Amino acid sequence: GYGLKSWLLTKDHKRIAVLYFITISIFFVIGGIFAGLIRLELVTPAGDLVSSETYNKLFTMHGVIMVFFFLIPSVPATMGNFFLPIMIGARDLAFPRINLLSWYLLIAGGAFAIFAMISGGVDTGWTFYTPYSTTYSNTYVIATALGIFIAGFSSILTGLNFIVTVHRMRAPGMTWFKMPLFVWANYATGVIQVLGTPVIAVTLVLIFCERVFHIGIFDPALGGDPVLFQHLFWFYSHPAVYIMVLPAMGVI
């Protein structure tokens, strides 16, 4: 079928790739609007367009949207979804239903993030550095983090799908060293998604626990260490930005 229902319930990897492309394009426009407002504010030294608090929120929301809802899913979920099965001679990904679920999880996570932005925004920076994000910020940190947490499951499931597909569904004669470089790049991306994304998910859960229960993981007054957050956060974010996405884009 060609109706809306056929698209929303599709298990075709090419259609799901198109759905991802439409979704990340919408997020790109939203993030671009925030970037445009930031640039307009910087035209003059004085705060002519927005207040300092609003500027911090725009800067944070731009980073959150562009990194977690555009950059991270842009190559693997969109181009990887479309081309990887074709390049190895498979009819589809190993788990078509999980592939569709991954897209819905990205939509759900994005909805939480957009809700937080509409409700008042968040001003911690897209890195959510402690102790500001855990103690001092009065903005929608938990709602934004929850959106990223949900979207993280989309990334994990996509990576798992790629790994299983490459291992089990290659066409006869398609040995490991005959695979195109693009497939290798997305396979490596899948490994990073499966291994690295749970770390930032747990880190966001710890931020929630700090804000709600004040357990002191990142609070020096309670025996914690704010630098621990940076180690946990960048364990995922460095591979995601510099390793997971850029090699795949270079191959394209």
Q: Average pLDDT, stretch 26-43?
A: 95
* pTM score of the predicted model: 0.92
Query: Is residue 35 scored above 90 in pLDDT?
Result: yes
Q: Average pLDDT, stretch 26-54?
A: 92
* pLDDT confidence bin for 243, thresholds 50/70/90: low
Query: Is residue 242 scored above 70 in pLDDT?
Result: no
36 against 238, higher pLDDT: 36
Tokens 């307009």 sit on residue: 40
C-alpha span between 52 and 61 (Å, rounded): 14
Whole-angstrom CA distances from 87 to 154, 166, 168, 182 are 23, 10, 14, 9
Token output for 36? 């445009």
pLDDT of 86-126, one tens digit each? Answer: 999 999 999 999 999 999 999 999 999 999 999 999 999 99
Query: Is residue 155 scored above 90 in pLDDT?
Result: yes
CA proximity to 102, closest of 140, 48, 148, 156? 156
C-alpha span between 235 and 174 (Å, rounded): 33
Query: Is residue 17 scored above 60 in pLDDT?
Result: yes
Whole-angstrom CA distances from 224 to 36, 141, 221, 232 are 38, 20, 7, 14
C-alpha span between 23 and 238 (Å, rounded): 24
